[in-house]
Amino acid sequence: MSGRLNVVILAAGQGKRMHSRLPKVLHPLAGKPLLAHVIATARALRPHRVCVVYGHGGDQVPQALAAADLAMVRQEPQLGTGHAVQQALPHLDASARTLVLYGDVPLLSAQTLSGMLAAGGDTLVLLTAELDQPGGYGRIVREAGGAVTRIVEHRDASPAERGIREVNTGIMVIPTARLAGWLAALTNENAQREYYLTDLVRLALADRVAVMTVRARDTVEILGVNSKGELAQLERAHQRRCAERLLEHGVTLADPLRIDVRGSLACGADVRIDVNCVFEGEVSLDDGVEIGANCLLRDTRVGSATRIEPYSFIDGARVGARCRVGPYARIRPGTELGTDVHVGNFVEVKASRFGEGSKANHLSYVGDAAVGRNVNIGAGTITCNFDGANKHQTVIEDDVHIGSDVQLVAPVTVARGTTVGAGTTVWKDTRPGGLVLNTTAQEQRPGWKRPTKSGEPR
Ligand code: UD1
Ligand code: CA
């Protein structure tokens, strides 16, 4: 790409058809706002300046997406796309070219834009697309020789012009030195009483500035979101692409139509993913990892040859190699599982470390705990880490064996090699080795009768 670049992102529209109080550009696609996708694409071009024009929905847009490298300008009232770009003008570098993008067109690729920017400096470059159903779009009008003469909006077009299938995507590159003059010359004498950015074509030609067009490679790139239906369509298109990329990389997907990646998913060799899994934030799966059906993994790293069994939710964790997690496990942020760890069904682990070879296979809560190596935690064991005001640590040293239904009242340390009997409440630190249990003798009362429901016949 040659030369310096300004990017203006138009995002002031209301998005009436979304039927939402949230500004349209803040609705999420693949887990992040539409506008955030466009900003990311803009940044990939290494621009000199980026200016977002917002309007509807008050300050929700700057509140959600303000960043040091973004200028945010409010457009109020919204008088059209030309008027919107005019608001950005004070933030633009006159010696750079200006690329106009739209906050509701999320799937545009940086490659397509690089193609537009490859064209020479003092030209107006339009991104166009050929659509079978061009209704609603501005049409590209060309003379017999093929040169563009103007863009006509659907509502201003004659029946013959409405037959044109080449449409204006709205995305254009403008020589900035000319922009102020052209914008000042715009009028709103049209069907919508708006200042149309598309009128720049006519003004450029009058100034003998060349108008060039670049075709979008894939029409999905140029599609905007105006309704929840269109948002869902673009979400599916995006997910299909993510799935295709994973397949090309050698990942086995039980069904490419039933995976959702909301962020980045990095996979090693021979990774297998069953149906209906969701990956959020940054997830990485090392070689040979298998993910069972219906799992959600967020900001998590999984070591090689580990199996995550169905219906597990793993959030903000590091899972070591050769582990087995789930089915129905919940692993919460700050958890680190070493090699060969087993965390089984209905086990919740929060901010805890498990050393190599340790297991909590059934129905447990392990929170704020440091668990050593080769520890076995029996069914129904719970760390009582919260005293109603503060969280406390539980330390379980190497080779400890904890029976079923044990309460570990933190802060407490279970020393190396201790065995804790079933049903014990451990509230004092233990010494290494030996058996720890609460002794309450079991009694039996012969002839005791079960209570009956009052009113029931005896
Ligand atoms: C615009 C183009 C049309 C093109 C179509 C592609 C013009 C006059 N027409 O029409 O040729 O085919 O996009 O989708 O440019 N916006 C603002 N401030 C405003 C008006 C609009 O920020 O005052 C933003 C909107 O949020 C939206 C985008 O600009 O993201 C397009 O605006 P919209 O009014 O929908 O233009 P279209 O009629 O679709
Ligand atoms: Ca539109």
Task: Tell which of 201, 222, 243 closes a domain.
Answer: 222
- Tell me the mean pLDDT in the region 256-274: 98
How would residue 1 be classed by pLDDT, with cut points 50, 70 and 90? Answer: very low
Are 326 and 242 members of one domain? yes
pLDDT score recorded for residue 427: 95
Domain edge (last residue) among 174, 196, 222: 222
Residue at 341: amino acid letter: V
Q: Mean pLDDT, the chain, as a whole number? A: 96
Mean pLDDT computed over 405-428? 97
pLDDT score for 283:
98
In terms of domains, do 141 and 20 share one?
yes
In a domain, 332, yes or no: yes
Q: Choosing from 154, 362, 392, 401, which is the catalytic residue? A: 362
Both 138 and 268 in one domain: the answer is no
In the predicted model, what is the mean pLDDT of residues 357-384?
A: 98
Q: Are residues 202 and 316 in the same domain?
A: no
Is the CB–ligand 1 distance for residue 128 below 6 Å? no
- ∠ CA 315-320-323, nearest 5°, is 95
Is there a single domain that holds both residue 206 and residue 275? no
Question: Residue 314 is inside which H or E element, if any?
Answer: strand 313-315
322, 305 contact by CB (below 8 A): yes
pLDDT of 120 above 90: no
| 75-84, 118-127, 401-410, range with the lowest pLDDT | 118-127
Q: Give the ligand with the smallest distance to the CA of 102.
A: 1
> 313 with 347, same domain?
yes
Find the 84 Cα to ligand 2 centroid distance in Å.
14
Q: Which ligand is nearest to the CA of 131?
A: 1
pLDDT at residue 437 is higher than 90: yes
Least confident of 181-185, 191-195, 374-378, 450-454: 450-454
The CATH number that applies at residue 174 is 3.90.550.10
Q: Is the CB of 320 under 6 A from ligand 1?
A: no
Cα separations in angstroms, 366 against 36, 125, 300, 309, 373:
37, 60, 18, 19, 15
Q: pLDDT, tens digit, for every residue of 270-306?
A: 999 999 999 999 999 999 999 999 999 999 999 999 9
* Domain boundary residue, one of 175, 204, 222: 222
Structural domain of 389? 228-445
- Assess whether the C-beta atom of 13 lies below 6 angstroms from ligand 1: yes
456: pLDDT confidence band, cut at 50, 70 and 90?
A: low
Residues 11 and 157 in one domain: yes
What confidence score (pLDDT) does residue 262 get? 98
**C-beta of 112 in contact with ligand 1 (< 6 A):** no
Q: Is the pLDDT of residue 340 over 50?
A: yes
Atom of ligand 1 nearest to the CA of 226: 35
Pocket test for ligand 1, best of 8, 17, 60, 81 (most atoms within 8 A of CB): 81
Sign for the CA dihedral angle at 202, 116, 8, 90 comes to negative
Residues 119 and 39 in one domain: yes
- Bridge partners for 420 per DSSP: 402, 436
Say which residue, 440 or 100, is predicted with more confidence. Answer: 100
Q: Total domain count for the chain?
A: 2
CA–CA separation, 202 and 147 (whole Å)? 12
pLDDT score for 2: 52
pTM check: above 0.85: yes
pLDDT of residue 457: 66
Is residue 455 one of the residues assigned to a domain?
no
pLDDT on residue 63: 97
Q: In what order do the strands lie in the sheet with 307-308?
A: 252-253, 272-273, 290-291, 307-308, 324-325, 342-345, 359-362, 376-377, 401-402, 419-420, 435-436
Residue 109, domain member (yes or no): yes
CA-to-CA distance for 29 and 236, rounded, in angstroms?
9
Residue carrying the six token digits 């203006």:
8
What is the pLDDT at residue 458?
A: 62
Cβ(8)–Cβ(82) below 8 Å: no
Same domain? 197 vs 297: no
Q: What is the CATH number of the domain that holds 432?
A: 2.160.10.10
The reply to whether 245 and 194 lie within a common domain is no
* pLDDT mean over 69-74: 97
> Would residue 345 count as lying in a domain?
yes
- The ligand placed nearest to the CA atom of residue 13 is 1
**Is 362 one of the catalytic residues?**
yes
For residue range 197-223, what is the model confidence (pLDDT) as tens digits? 999 999 999 999 999 999 998 999 999
pLDDT at 445 over 60: yes
Partners of residue 437 on adjacent β-strands: none
Q: What percent of the chain has pLDDT over 90?
A: 94
Reference 308, options 328, 325, 284; nearest CA is: 325
Q: Is residue 148 part of a domain?
A: yes
Whether residue 179 is contained in a domain is answered as yes
**Which of 303, 309, 313 is closest to 325 using CA atoms?**
309
Are 51 and 167 part of one and the same domain?
yes
Residues 253 and 364 both lie in one domain: yes
Domain assignment present for 452: no
Average pLDDT over residues 355-384: 98
Question: What's the gap in Å between 93 CA and the centre of ligand 2?
Answer: 27
Average pLDDT estimate for 232-252: 98
454 is a domain residue: no
Amino acid present at 7: V
